[in-house]
Structure 1
Amino acid sequence: MDASYGDISKMIDHSLLNPTLTLTDLERGCRLAVAYDVASVCIMPYAMARCTELLSGSTVQPSTTIGFPHGGHTTAIKQAEAIRAIADGCQELDMVVNISKVLSNAWDDVREDIRAVIDVAHAEGRKVKVIFENCYLTDDHKIRLCEICGSLDVDWVKTSTGYGTGGATREDLQLMRAHSPAHVQVKAAGGVRDLDTLLDVRSIGVTRVGASRTAEILDDCRQRLGLEPIVSGDLKQGSTTGY
């Protein structure tokens, strides 16, 4: 490996979005994320305030979803979700595009939907990842979305929710990196379940991945680097539910 542990751990957004996770699962997941020092926890919106409390004092960012998972909320509701998430301490917002509008080629509406969340978030110094849900889109749709997101200065373009019919593919990641300006980062979600896959997408230029198998990925990373294992007790229970 030509990367440090921190290089790898800070690529991971630990996913706590499965609707069957209990409050106990969510709190355990936040503590696991701190133990492994990942980039962020992406948690269900109702738990955002508690997540912020649990991550306080760590370098792990609290994040949540907007318009998740289908993107069909009205723009006003997405903006309201963003305002509430920020009030609850959210630092990074993962928003789903209006997939129906994308498939209808209603590009002005798509742009304004994204802009509404970007304007709220960037005004407060927060970051936005825009989820395309590529499994439903053509390459032309994906390219147009990359162009729109680049013009709006989004922080990341993201492949998937993890709950569509497919997740991140190498081909999609290459396409998104090729058609996004340099200042827009790329996130893979859905399908990054082991260290080798993470290293592969990293080689393409991906800077974040959504994962629920965080402990397994980072335990492997530490073993390969000759580092002591992280003793996390019961934190790993249920850690593979989701992406």
Structure 2
Amino acid sequence: MEYTIDQLSRFIDHTNLHADASDEDIMKLCDQAKKYHFKMVAINQVQSELCSKELKETDIDVGAAISFPLGQTSIASKLFDTKDAIDHGANEIDYVINITQLKNKNFDYIRSEMEQMVSLCHEHDVPCKVIFENCYLSKDEIKKVAEIAKDVKPDFIKTSTGFGISGAEVEDVELMKRTVGEDVKVKAAGGIRNTDDFLAMIGAGAERIGTSSGIKIIESLKQRMINDNIDKIKI
């Protein structure tokens, strides 16, 4: 596949999930997203309304992180926070699974949580992304949750929060995509800071990339295209 710069920009969820992010920081994030035509801004739930106002009348989505970054809240809490985020302007949701319940091999819990979250999001025509946090999971656990997702059909399954002990790995993206096939998309996030990693994740099957380094990545790709006298990047 060959991609223009704008098409590559639209892979990116432009991210600021830091606890100390001020309103000014978040407004800057939105301005950058508009300038580079990123797909989404990824923010903490409480900033949904501010971003919704800043991005009004654009095609850039507001992505609220739910139960972030640990996932250790009840299903009822996740549902409440999701509805609150949507009510305040979020139009994409990224939630973290209950990793403790996965470690307990309580797969029925993981399925029920996913079903309820996906159902609520889809009632409001909002995409739902399920964050696995792969750095804490075995390959078998990654595959098991992906198999559940293949049945439940969230819009995306996602590698990482970026706040764990490590982030996205190409082999995990490949495993996730191989398991869900065409039924569910894959988002890679966490530690993706340069063009080589960005392109490798897309090559492995990721259709969305969460990163706080989107500007650096896109500017580097622009320079590569100038140096190589090309108007598209082949992946």
Question: TM-score interval w.r.t. the shorter chain?
Answer: over 0.9
Partner residue in 1 for 2:218: 218
Q: Please report how far the alpha carbon of residue 225 of structure 1 lies from its aligned counterpart in structure 2 after TM superposition.
A: 2.9
For 2:132, give the aligned amino acid: F
Written as runs of structure 1 = structure 2, the 5 A alignment for 1:124-203 is 124-203=124-203
Which blocks of at least 5 consecutive residues in structure 2 are unaligned? Answer: 228-235
Deviations 1:62-120 (A, max 9, x none): 11111111111110000001111111111110010000001110011111111121111
Show CA shifts across 1:14-69 (max 9, x none).
Answer: 11101121111111111111111001001111110010111112221111111111
Structure 1 counterpart of 2:152, which letter? L
1:4 is aligned to: 4
> Secondary structure, in 3 states, of the residue corresponding to 1:93?
strand
Cross-structure match for 1:236: none
**Residues 205-233 of structure 1: CA deviation (Å, up to 9, x unaligned):** 11111110111111112222339xxxxxx
Residue of structure 1 equivalent to 2:25: 25
Distance of 1:187 and 1:8 partners within structure 2:
14
Give, in whole Å, the separation in 2 of the partners of 1:226 and 1:183: 37
The secondary structure found in structure 2 opposite 1:192 is coil
Partner of 1:237: none
TM, length-normalised to structure 2: 0.93
1:63 aligns to what?
63
The CA deviation at 1:165 is 0.5
Q: Quick one: which amino acid aligns to residue 150 of structure 2?
A: G
* Amino acid paired to 1:69: P
**What displacement does 1:187 show?**
0.6
The offset of 1:181, in angstroms, is: 2.9
SS for the counterpart of 1:168 is coil
TM-score (norm: length of structure 1): 0.90
SS in 1 for 2:7: helix
Q: Tell me the C-alpha RMSD between the 2 structures.
A: 1.3
Q: How many equivalent residue pairs?
A: 227
Q: 2:180 and 2:6 mapped to 1: Cα distance?
A: 25
- Whole-Å Cα distance in 2 between the matches of residues 190 and 77 of structure 1? 25
The alpha-carbon deviation at position 2 of structure 1 amounts to: 3.1
- Secondary structure at the aligned position of 2:3 is classed as coil
* Structure 1 equivalent of residue 50 of structure 2: 50
State whether residues 44 and 66 of structure 2, in contact with CA within 8 Å, keep that contact through their aligned partners in structure 1: no
What is the alpha-carbon distance in structure 2 between the residues aligned to residue 202 and residue 110 of structure 1?
A: 27
Q: Distance in 1 between matches of 2:71 and 2:82?
A: 13
- Shifted more, 125-134 versus 54-63: the winner is 54-63
